Chains A and B, each alone.
Chain A
Amino acid sequence: GNSVTQMEGPVTLSEEAFLTINCTYTATGYPSLFWYVQYPGEGLQLLLKATKADDKGSNKGFEATYRKETTSFHLEKGSVQVSDSAVYFCALSDGTGANSKLTFGKGITLSVRP
């Protein structure tokens, strides 16, 4: 079956530091890949996505590249802000048929210090 593995957290960084959050997946076929973010007290919001190999998703300074050869979708940001403090979830979707559904990683908490 499909699965998503995220690096263990939490992660604490100083403002303006470089961020990398690792995500690897196992799936049959050609899944779509997603990063979701959950701010305190809120639901999940789609941050970015990529639907095929070598695609790069980007939003709000965050980027992730769909790497089929390494089955990875690592999230990066060059300079984090305090407002980026949140929980980040990597997810995949087989994206086919009426019963396609998202498989989530466990999530990782990012705290950014001023």
Chain B
Amino acid sequence: ETGVTQTPRHLVMGMTNKKSLKCEQHLGHNAMYWYKQSAKKPLELMFVYSLEERVENNSVPSRFSPECPNSSHLFLHLHTLQPEDSALYLCASSQTGTGGYTFGSGTRLTVV
């Protein structure tokens, strides 16, 4: 148990579907992150939330929509995705100023 829980672990969705990824942390951290990990590519930082406010959005397409209702929960809402969006989506949390992140196990997303 890493302290950061992601659900679901695996998701297959069609290009016209709407789905959401969920992340929950039990560590009392005040920052949360979404990363995308694609085969043979570096980790891509997508979104950063600090104290429940989005502080970074790295030119992510609008078909990805994050939501952070409180400091323990983070969602990634997915709508009309493309096959190239298939990847492992990783959530992480941290206490700002300490540098170290705790990652969840990820959601393996396949868009068909």
Contacts and interface: CB of A to CB of B under 8 A. Distances in A.
B50 interface: yes
Category for how many chain A residues contact B: 20 to 34
Given A98-B51, A99-B55, A104-B43, A42 B105 contact: yes
Nearest to B41: A106
Contacts, number: 64
Nearest to B90: A43
Interface of A is mostly: loop
Interface string B2-24: 10101000000000000000000
Interface stretch (B61-69, B75-83, B96-104): B96-104
B44 to A, nearest CB: 9
Given A43-B2, A49-B99, A99-B56, A107 B106 contact: no
Contact of B104 (A34, A43, A49, A93): A43
B111 interface: no
Contact of B100 (A43, A49, A97): A49
A107 B41 CA distance: 9
Contacts of A49: 99-100
Contacts of B96: 97-100
B34 interface: no
Interface of A: 32, 34, 36, 41-46, 49, 51, 89, 93, 95-102, 104-107
15 contacts: A36-B103, A41-B105, A43-B2, A43-B104, A44-B103, A45-B2, A49-B99, A95-B98, A97-B96, A98-B31, A98-B51, A99-B56, A104-B42, A106-B42, A107-B43
Given A32-B99, A95-B98, A104-B43, 5 more contacts: A32-B100, A45-B2, A49-B100, A100-B99, A105-B42
